[in-house]
Amino acid sequence: MSNKQFPTNFIWGTATSSYQIEGAWNEDGKGESIWDRFSHTPGKIQDGTTGDVACDHYHRYRDDVVLMRDLGLQAYRFSIAWPRILPNGRGQVNQKGLDFYGRLTDQLLAANITPFVTLYHWDLPQILEDQGGWPNRDSVDAFVEYADVVSRYLGDRVKHWITFNEPFVSAFLGYQYGNHAPGRKESGLALRAAHHHLVAHGESVPVIRANSAGAEVGITLNMSYQAAGSASAADVARARQADGHVNRWFLDPINGRHYPADMVNMYYQKFDESFDFILDGDFETIAVPTDFMGLNYYSRHVVRDEEATDNLPQTVFESKENRTDIDWEIYPEGLYRILNRLYFDYQIPKIYITENGASYGDGPDENGRVPDERRLSYLKQHFTAAHRAINNGVPLAGYFVWSFMDNFEWAYGYKQRFGITWVDYDTQERILKDSALWYKQVIAENGL
């Protein structure tokens, strides 16, 4: 491999998620999700918007797939809206919901684009939240039932499955910090929620495999590089704690290491947590062998002991200049180091970068072109970091840019634009940004 050429069979794709792009929030029998409820609650979304219409992808998916084909995308990662499939969370299946994803899948396959399906990207049926949500152990059975229904239906055509997207974000932002749906802030709930995500992952993997012969199944974790603000023992310890909080709490158990002891002690003190939600056999279930791990990487955190509040590490971004519009530091070195860690420390046999990208607001110029030079530069730096890791032997098999198009960025609403495709939310016009045109070339040449 020379000169930033990527390995043969390397997969280049883009990613999205259901709530962020689909719209059609109450059409064709879909039930309410926790994000419908949350975004409809005044004050929860910074710009007061909702995902009711979003990119209207539910109605425009055919045109969107044509754009993907024109870009030469080899794979597309999308998620399924659970309440479209099971409006009541469990039980009655909504065939129209399944049919939508069946049509999308067929369209992708006809365009020679490999579908990567994420089962859970945060839109839990509200009815399950009303029964306790993820902190309730019943959520595990509900998820397995849902995974069974979807993989039975799509399993002949979809051969790449991701059980969960970013369980850290789903559990902690949803149940501890409260800035994501369902917006609860009760002490200790996030640990229960996180545990049930992981058990549901472990229980669903064999079910998906049984329904989808020869499929690859994995889970996607968000990881950020946690750097100590100085070489002081206190800062180093805080950075280690931040790493335990965001990264190791998930990475360790899925790799058969149970929960990290330093963090168990920390949470025990902080939340007075008895860990009674861990049942016999759970760690074996969670450590089910998978085919790959998905990594979502965006930035690093710099951690200083003096900034810790409430005995939890607070993270700050180091340089003010080197940031994207969402205020996240650009730190490609962190991607390089995390990829090395996943392979050399955890021996993960296959890795996909299932998300990486940048938020910049650059819009169309007077000629209708979108010159998003800064996003292009961000991507180039991160592709280069990934390439360096591959040169070390890291088994990186693919790269999914977040995101195929601008979309609803959760609590930020539409203020943050991560797309390589511009979306005019008034007209739903799409314009390929310069970064997309550049990406097309990277894909065609399989390298930089």
Q: Has 329 been annotated as catalytic?
A: no
Q: Pattern of binders to ligand IFM over 89-108, x per CB under 6 A?
A: --------------------
Extract the tokens encoding 366. Answer: 């007077």
Helix (H, G, I), strand (E, B), or coil: what is residue 16? Answer: coil
Label the pairing between strands 114-120 and 75-79: parallel
Q: From the candidates 166, 216, 329, 409, which is the catalytic residue? A: 166
How is 65-110 classified by DSSP, letter by letter?
Answer: HHHHHHHT-SEEEEE--HHHH-TTSSSS--HHHHHHHHHHHHHHHH
Residue among 308, 319, 299 nearest 239 (CA): 308
Q: Which is nearer to ligand IFM, 282 or 409 (CB)?
A: 409
Least spacing, CB of residue 355 vs ligand IFM, in Å: 5
Of 38, 175, 402, 414, the one binding ligand IFM (CB under 6 A) is 402
Residues between 152 and 171 with contacts to ligand IFM, criterion CB under 6 A: 166
Of 14, 17, 139, 176, the one binding ligand IFM (CB under 6 A) is 17
How is 290-359 classified by DSSP, letter by letter?
Answer: -SEEEEE---EEEE-GGG-BTTB--EE-S-SSSB-TT--B--HHHHHHHHHIIIIIT--S-EEEEE----
Residue among 10, 129, 8, 9 nearest 383 (CA): 10
Phi and psi, residue 208, nearest 5°: -65, -45
Least spacing, CB of residue 208 vs ligand IFM, in Å: 21
Q: From the candidates 129, 329, 355, 409, which is the catalytic residue? A: 355
Of 283, 409, 433, 439, the one binding ligand IFM (CB under 6 A) is 409
Amino acid at 322: N
Q: Has 166 been annotated as catalytic?
A: yes
Of 296, 324, 356, 421, the one binding ligand IFM (CB under 6 A) is 296
Least spacing, CB of residue 278 vs ligand IFM, in Å: 27
């802030």: which residue's tokens? 185
């029998």: which residue's tokens? 29
Q: Which is nearer to ligand IFM, 282 or 355 (CB)?
A: 355
Q: Is 438 in the site for ligand IFM (CB under 6 A)?
A: no
CA dihedral 182, 183, 188, 189 (to 10 degrees): -10
Least spacing, CB of residue 395 vs ligand IFM, in Å: 22
Q: Which is nearer to ligand IFM, 126 or 170 (CB)?
A: 170
Residue ranges binding ligand IFM (CB under 6 A): 17, 20, 166, 296, 355, 402, 409, 418
Active-site positions read 166, 355
